[in-house]
């Protein structure tokens, strides 16, 4: 991804998202997919509890696979500091929500998996309506750009530069 500017990524991503219905579907499904990936990684039991809980809030261990999102934030920072800040805020809000959900004994992984599947079904319905293949079929890197494309609409709405 080196060398390509944020606007070039967003413009290219937007080429396969022109239909108003598909755009609405993506504005719902892209954040849902992003949030559920973080949630599923949060609950993935691949790190031993004694390591997971070395840094914790209550009984919620913070050392977990969702930290894979940190290098993604660094990639976002290279594209746009304001977008990276926005994504970092969202990431932290998701983590806080997951901690609250854990305290309330919500079955996070199951819930996230169901939402993840439904959101992907929505994505493919949107692209069927659009009549174009998803951007990530051309380049897997667009899986990282989708959340920024969605956030860019929020930034435009509020007049925030990126």
Residue 40 vs residues 36, 95, 109, 138: alpha-carbon distances, Å: 6, 12, 5, 26
pTM of the model: 0.84
Predicted pLDDT of residue 135 = 75
Q: Which residues pair with 56 in a beta bridge?
A: 61
pLDDT at site 43: 87
Dist. CA 28–CA 41, nearest whole Å: 20
pLDDT score, position 1: 42
Q: Which residues contact residue 77 at a Cβ distance below 8 angstroms, ignoring those fewer than 6 apart?
A: 84
Q: What are the residue boundaries of the structural domains of the chain, listed by start?
A: 6-158
Would you give per-residue pLDDT tens digits along the chain (162 residues)? 456 899 999 999 999 899 999 999 999 999 999 999 999 999 887 777 777 667 666 666 667 788 888 999 999 999 999 999 999 999 999 999 999 999 999 999 999 999 999 999 999 999 999 998 877 777 778 889 999 999 999 999 999 999
CA dihedral defined by 43, 49, 50, 56, rounded to 10 degrees?
40
Query: What pLDDT, on a 0 to 100 scale, did the predictor assign at position 146?
Result: 94
């Amino acid at each position: 991804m080196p060398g390509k500017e944020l606007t070039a990524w967003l413009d290219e991503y937007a080429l396969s998202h022109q239909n108003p219905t598909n755009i609405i579907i993506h504005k719902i499904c892209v954040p849902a997919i992003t949030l559920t990936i973080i949630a599923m990684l949060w609950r993935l039991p691949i790190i031993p509890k004694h390591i997971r809980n070395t840094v914790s809030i209550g009984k919620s261990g913070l050392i977990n696979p969702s930290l894979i999102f940190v290098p993604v934030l660094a990639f976002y920072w290279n594209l746009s500091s304001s977008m990276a800040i926005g994504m970092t805020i969202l990431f932290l809000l998701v983590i806080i929500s997951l901690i609250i959900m854990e305290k309330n004994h919500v079955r996070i992984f199951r819930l996230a998996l169901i939402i993840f599947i439904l959101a992907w079904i929505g994505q493919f319905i949107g692209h069927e309506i659009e009549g174009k293949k998803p951007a990530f079929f051309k380049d897997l890197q667009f899986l990282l750009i989708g959340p920024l494309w969605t956030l860019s609409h929020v930034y435009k709405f509020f007049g925030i530069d990126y």
